[in-house]
Structure 1
Amino acid sequence: MTFRQQARFWLVFTIGFFFLVWLFSSILLPFVAGMAIAYFLDPLADKLEARGISRTVATSIITALFFLVFLFVLLLIVPMIGSQLAGFLERLPGYVDTLQTNVGPYLQHILDRVAPETLQSVSDAIKGQTANALKWVGNVLTNVLSGGLAFLNFLSLLFITPVVSFYLLRDWDKIVAKIDSYLPRRSARDIRQCAREIDDTLAGFVRGQSTVCMLLGLFYGLGLTLAGLEFGFVIGLMTGLVSFVPYFGMIAGFAVGFGVALAQFGLGLDLGIVVIVFLIGQLLEGNFLTPKLVGDKVGLHA
């Protein structure tokens, strides 16, 4: 195949690929999820295969363990988190009333010292951002829950994704080799090197950041629970899970945790313990977890 023919093939393939993605976007979720799972589990399968275990056996073990853990989380952890989250939302108006009663006079004293036009501009900005956030959340929920495909997508994720993951993971090296055979021979080495660097960086970042989020969620959840904070586990877990967004996760989690602690404990030692938990978590993330689990993987060192 000449270079011109290969270029024409890849152009047609790319256009056809994106057309098919657009055409079947409503049913692609389990296949995309299966491909992502196979991609991130492939290094583990390669290690087992290097130890003399057949690819099929290694794939069976890894896929079974992965989805057993997934089912454990789905059946045990998620209901517990959902219960705590529902309880937190139910108690939220009470927390707000308590804060208004206990903190309101101090806040009003501070606001009285602020120029009215400044206060109004801040209030308008907060209202605008809140409205935008609520609109975004509403759109997401509408897209997720609307239509009869929501339940179908859940079932397909539950039953089709494991099958897709297994076969893709088992034949991953063959698929990569097949794609490699279509590369232009004159540029194949450069393309492989570029793809390898992208793969190492992307996979290292995603795996590392996911590990950081899970460890932070567990730390905050256990720390706030031991501190006696109501709904501490779900607040801490959510803080960790959204910490992949720089600063937002920590600020949002701290604001919620501090507000609940202030309403529950008032000004005192217990409130200070909650603050210390967040400070320790931030120190762990900035000085140990992110540099070691993310920075080293993508070639960025503190």
Structure 2
Amino acid sequence: MTESQRWFFLIVALVFAGVIYLLAPVLSPFLIGALLAYLSDPIADRLEAAGLSRTVSVVIVFIVMTGLVALLFLLFIPQIGYQVQTLLERVPQVLILFEEQIFPWILDTFSLDASVFDFAHLKQLLVGDLQKTGDIMAHLVGGITKSGLAIVAWVANLVLIPVVTFYLLRDWDVMVDKIKHLLPRNLEPKVSLWASECDEVLGAFMKGQLLVMLALAIVYASGLWLVGLDLALLVGMIAGLASIVPYMGFFIGIAVAGVAAFMQFQDPMVLAFVGAVFIVGQLLEGMLLTPLLVGDRIGLHPVAVIFAIMAGGQLFGFVGVLLALPVAAVIMVLLRHLNEGYKSSALYAHESSSDLEQSESVTHDN
């Protein structure tokens, strides 16, 4: 890379970051549309390879995607809202159970002093925070309802997402090819290699791990529904999302589901059925889902994913959350090449001049 090219790419990167920072409030629908187009492009490519035109392939993918989203809103969103309300109503019951049964057992078993733990104050704080949360949500909903401009903006963004997704998906391959031809000729092979590696890293997570999380959420929710748990859909969704970190979804899900099942049925035997559901989910993940959907591709480390999402949200808000994974994939690939370059450089393997002279002297004597 020449000196002028280094300055050019540095300026482009700074301008790009500044544009994102300044236009962050209006970028969300475009980034969501780009994300959906990226995830759907392999399916459209397969349909196109089967003999369909690009437009027909995109229309088929778009119709299926729209149907799934509509089904999600019509069937699951109201159920999730109802189950969240049910969960908030049962929190005081859980606190009473812990205070009257579990907390005394812990004190007796470990010979602890009850005066050290101010459980009443903790209970008051938790219940107060839940009440404040409900008041804040009601205030926000009331404010949105009263603001016609906010409703118009929300609806406009919601309508804009499928429009952006359709056009980006239709022209995805064309845009990638044009960007490739805009690169300097001496850098195009290297940048193309890095881009393919970034796609592999990002695809291994977004097209693999996210599918594993979705499948686990379905397995957990279905199993808990068969057990008869009222909060089956909510707990399954929470456990599936927490599966972004290995075993976290299992432990969080079984803990929340166990407490909810015991509060609902008041029967310790139901805990065995809850445990069986999550054990089956873990077996399916390790033996079927991860090998089938992720395979041996190198994706983003779970800790890197969590840090990237939190850092992006802190720096750029919701737009930063959407950009977190692509940026993390690029940084991971660059660090990998930087590590390879460092280990092959004189900085890593350079011998000192005295060692080199001693080695030459020994060779000469021999």
Matched residue type, 2:255: A
Distance 2:207 2:151 in 1: 29
CA distance in 1, matches of 2:109, 2:153: 51
Report the Cα offset of residue 150 of structure 1.
6.5
The one-letter code matched in structure 2 to 1:88 is: L
Structure 2 counterpart of 1:109: 108
RMSD of aligned Cα (Å): 3.4
In structure 1, the residue matched to 2:75 is 76
Structure 1 window deviating more from structure 2 (245-254 vs 208-217): it is 245-254
C-alpha separation between the residues in 2 aligned to 1:270 and 1:17? 55
| Cα distance in 2, alignment partners of residues 255 and 61 from structure 1 | 41
Q: Cα distance, 1:201 vs. partner?
A: 2.2
* 2:194 aligned partner: 194
- The residue type paired with residue 33 of structure 1 is I
Q: Which residue of 1 aligns with 2:364?
A: none
Shift of 1:291: 3.2
Structure 1 window deviating more from structure 2 (232-241 vs 77-86): it is: 232-241
Map Cα deviations across residues 8-48 of structure 1 (whole Å, 9 max, x no partner). 54333322222211111001100000111111111111111
The answer to whether the Cα contact below 8 Å between 1:99 and 1:263 also exists between their aligned partners in 2 is no
State the match for 1:154 in structure 2. Answer: 154
By how many angstroms is 1:274 displaced? Answer: 1.1
Q: Could you tell me which runs of 5 or more consecutive residues in structure 2 were left unpaired when the two chains were aligned.
A: 301-366
2:51 is matched with 52
* Secondary structure, counterpart of 2:158 in structure 1: helix
Show the counterpart of 2:282: 282
Q: How does 1:1-302 map to 2 (within 5 A)?
A: 6-111=5-110, 113-114=111-112, 151=151, 154-266=154-266, 268-298=268-298
CA distance in 1, matches of 2:297, 2:97: 46
1:108 aligned partner, one-letter code? L
Alignment check: 8 A CA contact 1:201 1:298 kept: yes
Amino acid at match of 1:201: V
Partner deviation per Cα, 1:125-157 (whole Å, 9 max, x = no partner): x99xx9xx99xx99xx8xx98987865563234
Q: Tell me, yes or no, if the aligned pair for 1:235 and 1:257 is still in contact at 8 Å.
A: yes
Distance change in 2, residues 1:9/1:97 (3 Å): same
Moved more, 232-241 or 216-225: 232-241
Q: 1:76 to 1:157 in 2, by over 3 A?
A: farther
Q: 1:260/1:79 Cα in 2 relative to 1: closer, same or farther (>3 Å)?
A: same
Determine the C-alpha separation between the residues in 2 that align with 1:104 and 1:115.
11
Change (3 A) 1:193 1:231: same
| Counterparts in 2 of 1:101 and 1:225: CA distance versus 1, 3 Å | farther
Q: 1:84 to 1:203 in 2, by over 3 A?
A: same
Following superposition, the deviation at residue 7 of structure 1 comes to: 4.6
Distance 1:242 1:299, change over 3 A: closer
How far apart are the structure 2 equivalents of 1:225 and 1:293? 25
**Structure 2 CA distance, aligned partners of 1:254 and 1:201?**
30
1-side partners of 2:89 and 2:268: how far apart?
25
Deviates more, 1:8-17 or 1:199-208: 8-17
Q: TM-score, normalised by structure 2?
A: 0.68
Shift of 1:70: 0.8
CA contact (8 A) 1:235 1:256 kept: yes
**Shift in Å at residue 202 of structure 1?**
1.0
Q: TM-score, normalised to structure 1's length?
A: 0.81
Percent identity (aligned): 37
DSSP-derived class of the 2:229 partner: coil
Larger radius of gyration: 2
User: Between Structure 1 and Structure 2, how many residues are aligned?
Assistant: 286
- Identify the structure with bigger relative contact order (alpha carbons < 8 Å, sequence gap 6+): 1
Question: Which amino acid in structure 2 is aligned with residue 234 of structure 1?
Answer: L
The corresponding residue for 2:318 is: none
How many Å apart are 1:4 and its aligned residue? 5.7
* Residue 99 of structure 1: how far off its partner (Å): 4.3
Answer whether contact 1:84 1:234 (CA < 8 A) is retained: yes
> CA contact under 8 A between 1:30 and 1:156: conserved in structure 2?
no
SS of 1:298's equivalent in the other structure is coil
8 Å contact from structure 1 (residues 208, 297) kept in 2: no
Q: In the TM superposition, what is the alpha-carbon distance from 1:92 to its structure 2 partner?
A: 2.1
Match of 2:336 in 1: none
Give, in angstroms, the shift of residue 220 of structure 1: 0.9
Is the 1:6–1:183 contact (alpha carbons within 8 Å) kept by the matching residues of 2? no
